[in-house]
Structure 1
Amino acid sequence: MIAGDSRRERKKAQTRAAIQEAALELFVSQGYRETTIAQIAARADVATRTVTLHFPAKEDLLFADDPFAPESLARCLHERKSDTFAVLRDWMHTTMRALDASDLEQEPDPAQLWRRRALRAQLLMEDDDLRGRARAGYRDLELLVAKGIGSDIGLPADALIPRLAAVTVVAGLREIYVTREGRAKAQSAASELSGLVDQVLAFAEAGVRNAGM
């Protein structure tokens, strides 16, 4: 990539991040449904069309660009040399460290990123439609985790234990942001949340082990 292309991509990413930041601030202060695209554009100091070019649907402002994407986990599971829980642990920690590092380019305090994610989680929990959309979006992750755990213990992905473990993992990771511990630790960098990730995975792993698998 030539220097001009690199600058354009950087500028595009900065604009996209500024729009999402403005949207989140407004969603939190006045409500998701009450916030208009025009208000978001004004807060981000861009044209309304710029917002819709980056985010064609309003809900995309909350769901686009999730770094914990199924495609990313699928690659790690495909290349794995250890069990699914170990892959999950490494994937989560690696992604969180990368987020801290990339956020430093835009924001000198990496804790800002995790505060934003905590606010996003709060918004999703408070709105039935958004919560349903989020739940549907996590299905691909659940299926990947169930398939991996099932392979580890010699059961099909749709057997009860792999499915229970997968739902526990994905729901637990999602709930971190809205727990008392998660809200407190979201004032810091990703490293502070890593221990909660380990607790979720250990809880699910113990469930599989205690089931005799």
Structure 2
Amino acid sequence: MTVSDGRRERKKAQTRARIQEAALDLFASQGYRETTIAQIAARADVATRTVTLHFPAKDDLLFADDPFTAESLERWLRERKPDTTLDAVRGWMHATMRELDERDHDSGVDPGLIWQRRALRARLLMADDDLRGRARAGYRDLELPIAEGIAEDLGLPADALLPRLTAATVVTGLREIYVTREGQAQARSAASDLSPLVDEVLAFAEAGLRGARPRPGA
């Protein structure tokens, strides 16, 4: 990649981020459904077509570029040691959170801004039926590899109740962090302040696994 290509990609990324910031601000102040693409373009100081080139659908403004992807989780799970699925999930969460903090620090952004934005995004998703449905579909993409890993740890089929229940507990707990009283209080600084809540979710799931007794032949 040439220097000019690199500069062009950075400018493109900055424009994309500015559009998402504008969209979040407007969604928060006047509502997701009440906000138009033209309003977002005006707030971001770009053409309407620029918004739709980056985000073809309005809900993409909330779902695109999420760093907590199923693909990155699956890489952590593939590289885990035996019987350490929940440890791998914990490591994935902490590593991704640190990367986000470092990215904001390197760009001169307030380290807590991304967590405030993610908390706002979570509230917007929970407030709209259609957005909530799309979010749940994405959560299932995270639940399935976790369930498969836990099943392998326990010597159970991937569709057995205990692995699926534990995976759903983990993903739901991690998702709920942003909208809980504790998460709202901590989402004003850095990832290190949210990390204990991640550990609390994983500890809850681990306690459930220890207390459960897999049924032979399940």
Q: What's the TM-score bracket when you normalise by the shorter of the two chains?
A: over 0.9
Q: Which residue of 2 aligns with 1:125?
A: 126
The CA distance in 1 between the partners of 2:42 and 2:108, in whole Å, is 21
What amino acid does structure 1 have at the position aligned with 2:148? K
Distance 1:204 1:58 in 2: 35
Q: Which residue of 1 aligns with 2:172?
A: 171
The match for 2:17 is 17
In structure 2, the residue corresponding to 1:187 is in which secondary structure? Answer: coil
| 1:91 corresponds to | 92
TM-score (norm 1): 0.97
CA distance in 2, matches of 1:152, 1:198: 20
Match of 2:192 in 1: 191
Q: Secondary structure at the match of 2:19?
A: helix
The one-letter code sitting in structure 2 at the alignment partner of 1:17 is A
CA distance in 2, matches of 1:161, 1:95: 27
Q: What SS does structure 2 have at the residue aligned with 1:138?
A: helix
Map 1:81-160 → 2, pairs under 5 A: 81-82=81-82, 83-160=84-161
Q: 2-side partners of 1:107 and 1:115: how far apart?
A: 16
Paired residues in the alignment total: 213
**Cα distance 1:58–1:28, how it changes in 2: closer, same or farther (>3 A)?**
same
1:32 aligns with 2:35: no
Other-structure match for 2:182 = 181
Q: Deviations over 1:178-212 (max 9, x none)?
A: 00000000011111000000000110111011003
Counterpart AA for 2:102: A
Which digits, 9 at most, give the CA deviation of each residue in 1:40-73, with x for residues without a partner? 0000001100000000000000001110000001
Q: CA deviation at 1:3?
A: 1.6
SS in structure 2 of the partner of residue 108 of structure 1: coil
CA distance in 1, matches of 2:108, 2:56: 26
Letter in 1 for 2:114: L
Match for 1:88: what amino acid? Answer: V
User: Which string of whole-angstrom CA distances, capped at 9 and with x for unpartnered residues, describes residues 13-46 of structure 1?
Assistant: 1111000000000000000000000000000001
More displaced 10-residue stretch of structure 1: 120-129 or 102-111: 102-111
Give 1:2 shift.
2.2
1:130 is displaced (CA, Å) by 0.7
Return 5+ residue gaps in structure 1 as ranges.
none
Determine the structure 1 residue equivalent to 2:6: 6
User: Runs in 1 of length 4+ with deviation above 4 angstroms?
Assistant: none
Partner of residue 65, structure 1: 65
**Inter-partner Cα distance in structure 2 for 1:106 and 1:124:** 27
Whole-angstrom distance in 2 between the partners of 1:58 and 1:48: 12
2:191 maps to a residue whose letter is A
CA RMSD of aligned residues (A): 1.0
* In 2, Cα distance between equivalents of 1:118 and 1:97: 17
| Aligned counterparts of 2:18 and 2:2: Cα–Cα separation in 1 | 24
CA distance in 2, matches of 1:81, 1:6: 38
Alpha-carbon separation, structure 2, partners of 1:33 and 1:105: 34
